[in-house]
Amino acid sequence: MSNYSQETPLSSTRPAVEHIYTKIQVQYAGDIQDIVLKTNKEPTCGDLAKTLQNAYRVPIEKQMIYFRGQQLHHSRPSNYERTLSRYGLFSGSLIRLVGRRGLLQY
């Protein structure tokens, strides 16, 4: 007889942390494109700024982000961790990005 009755269960291949995907439409330089924020928690202004920096090469300190005609003041340290939902910005929302592309310093 074999000892297969004492098999150990396989570990789960599912990640321990579920990701949140937020799709935002971005109007920049006359075009409208979709970007996706992938976060472990509710997305913040800082998450949006980093994603825009990577996608459009506009440094965070040079970004001006407008939503429903109002500017998100995301570059202030006190506002960096504010959630996008606080501004009424959810998946499917359209924002306008203004800023010059530049050299990114990492």
Question: Residue 24: pLDDT above 80?
Answer: yes
Number of structural domains, the chain?
1
Among 72, 80, 94, which Cα is nearest to 28's? 94
Does pLDDT of 4 surpass 90?
no
Instruction: Give the confidence band of 79 by pLDDT, cuts at 50, 70, 90.
Output: confident
Q: Is residue 40 part of a domain?
A: yes
Q: What is the mean pLDDT of the chain?
A: 84
Q: Is residue 12 part of a domain?
A: no
What CATH number should be reported for the domain holding residue 59? Answer: 3.10.20.90
Q: Which of 1-15, 36-50, 69-83, 92-106 has the lowest mean pLDDT?
A: 1-15
Q: Which residue has the tokens 């010059």?
A: 100
Range of the domain at 44: 17-98
Share of the chain above pLDDT 70, in %: 78
Does some domain include residue 94? yes
In a domain, 57, yes or no: yes
Helix, strand or coil for residue 82? Answer: coil
For residue 99, which of 68, 69, 71, 80 has the smallest C-alpha distance?
71
Q: Does 7 fall in a domain?
A: no
